[in-house]
A and B are shown apart, each in its own frame.
Chain A
Amino acid sequence: MFKPFEKIKHRTFLILVGSQVAVALLLWQVAGGGLIPPPSKVLEALGQLLTTGLFMDNLLTSLLLTGKALFYSVLITLLFGYASVIPLFRPAALFLVKCRYLTLTGLIFVFTLLSKDGGQLKLSLLLFGIVPFLTTSFLSIILHTPNQEYELCQTLGYSRWESLYEVIIVGKADQVFEVVRQNFAIAWMMITMVEGLNMSEGGIGALMIKYNKYNDLPHVLALQSVILGLGLGFDYLLGVLRHWLFPYTKH
């Protein structure tokens, strides 16, 4: 357990995780106090949140917005990703990749001008934040496709379009799930930010900003733990879904 590259059983790993989380919580409980609320207070705040309908409504609003943003992001990413193998469209795809260096500050006003309402503004900001990262990951997968995959298509007499379908569209479908899984964190991180820009529709981000405004740290941390828990749950769900839809990823 203390040697590099030592292989341990999955059960042992789970025990390690459990015990380290317990130790961290204990340390937090003992060392906390003053401004930082201890876990017991956060737990209490979480209990209060879960019993209110307000929390569930806001959570559903956020989940709906995230789902919508992810759906459109994947659609745009796939479109640009598939098109990137055609030289004519490669510059546009590469530009999208470089857009990940842009910051939203200053562009929010432009997006506000271009959007019809608050909902559209939030969605477009999320897309602006998610798509470049998804496209970067997907393009990297396409670029690292072993040449033998294309060559096998050639030896079987496939046309270039048939090769694109077989190697990229069918062959990389499972990896789209992995890309979404890896980048979901960005969507989840951004949701709180964009919801703060337009609070009228609510959402977990708006709720957090409200609690933050009154320095209600137990509720802020409780919301953070919900965000973390949902993120982990979504990560696990996508992993399970990937194995179920693409059984070959298990081997």
Chain B
Amino acid sequence: MTTYSKKEVLLRVEDVSLSYDRVCILRDIRFSIRDIVRPGLQQGQVVSLVGRSGIGKTQLFRLLSGLQRPDSGRIAIRERLPVEKGDGSIELYRERMVQPGDMGVIFQNYYQFGWRTVRQSLLLAARRNKALTGKEEDAIRQYTRRFDVEDVLYRYPAQLSGGQQQRVSIIQQLLKGGDFLLLDEPFSGLDVCVLDKVVELLIQVSLSDELKTLIIVSHDIATAVAISDTVFILGREAGLEGSTIVREIDLMERGLAWQKGVREEKVFAETVREIKECL
């Protein structure tokens, strides 16, 4: 079994609730994502939020991205920022409420500005990232080569295939910078070959930085389990209104995280079955 340890909390969701027209959609959502450290490896986090259609996954996605505010509760992230403490020492991180723009967001339809070419869109995103100042073009070249979209730099979104749009969306959000990447149903509508490529691509992204954290909202349980280190199940509890996190499954404990041929393992099938039963 792989050695790992869980360190600081990177994202904390506390008692989050959301209602629409007095109908409770999400209730008492409570979970946290911690920095997973593997000795000698640069390893980010991949977390999946799974649940049935219409359970409120997209609403939770919007809350996590900061695009919408919850009715109650708080969503806080750990930010890299030198903060002076009372005793004169300096802390490099601070916890603060999530704001729009804190998380890279990949929408389900990979939405892009229709009036910008791929290069223009990527350049706009790279210019938001202070760490890339003066090196925007190099960064775009590197990412587009790595994600195999360098041939479409001068095309408009309408001229791209679905797979290319997805990759461009991911690059755009990566260029913008930040530790979190939220993906809404990234596996839906993909054929088997493309699905493997997307999984491989997301693993690459997660390995790019120790604090890089991917939060995948999906109803594709098998793929979510295959790629993640932790799965949160969004479901309903008997007699209570609204959805909540009904179960947290630590895939590292079960030896299912970071394994290439994980789908062949018996415990994988058992875990998928277990999740399905919870839905």
Task: List the interface of chain A (C-beta within 8 A of B).
Answer: 146, 148-149, 151-152, 154-158, 166, 170-171, 173-174, 246-248, 251
Q: Which residues of B contact A149 (CB under 8 A)?
A: 111, 113
Known contacts A148-B107, A251-B158; is-contact A154 B113 (Cβ 8 Å): no
Q: Are B176 and A151 in contact (CB under 8 A)?
A: no
Q: Is B101 close to A, CB under 8 A?
A: yes
Tell me the B105-133 residues at the A interface (CB within 8 Å): 105, 107, 109, 111-115, 124-125, 128
Task: List the interface of chain B (C-beta within 8 A of A).
Answer: 65-67, 100-101, 103-105, 107, 109, 111-115, 124-125, 128, 156, 158-159, 172-173, 176
Q: In whole angstroms, how far apart are the Cα atoms of A170 and B173 in the complex?
A: 21
Q: Are B176 and A152 in contact (CB under 8 A)?
A: no
Query: Which chain A residue shows the least CB distance to B125?
Result: A156
Q: Are B128 and A156 in contact (CB under 8 A)?
A: yes
Select which of A151, A156, A248 is within 8 A of B114 by beta carbon.
A248
Chain B nearest CB from A148 CB (Å) reads 5
Pairs across A and B, CB under 8 Å, 12 listed: A148-B111, A151-B107, A152-B111, A154-B66, A154-B101, A155-B173, A155-B176, A171-B113, A174-B115, A247-B156, A248-B158, A251-B158
Q: Which residues of B contact A156 (CB under 8 A)?
A: 101, 124-125, 128, 172, 176
Q: Which residues of A contact B104 (CB under 8 A)?
A: 155
Q: In whole angstroms, how far apart are the Cα atoms of A166 and B114 in the complex?
A: 11
Q: In whole angstroms, how far apart are the Cα atoms of A151 and B109 in the complex?
A: 13
Query: Which chain B residue shows the least CB distance to A173?
Result: B115
Residue from B109, B111, B125, B159 whose CB has the most chain A CB atoms within 10 Å: B111
Residue from A151, A170, A171 whose CB has the most chain B CB atoms within 10 Å: A151
Residue from A155, A171, A248, A251 whose CB has the most chain B CB atoms within 10 Å: A155
Sorted nearest first, the 7 A-B pairs with minimum C-beta distance are A157-B101, A154-B100, A155-B105, A251-B158, A248-B156, A148-B111, A157-B128
Q: Which residues of B contact A158 (CB under 8 A)?
A: 101
Known contacts A148-B107, A248-B158; is-contact A157 B176 (Cβ 8 Å): yes
Chain A nearest CB from B58 CB (Å) reads 12
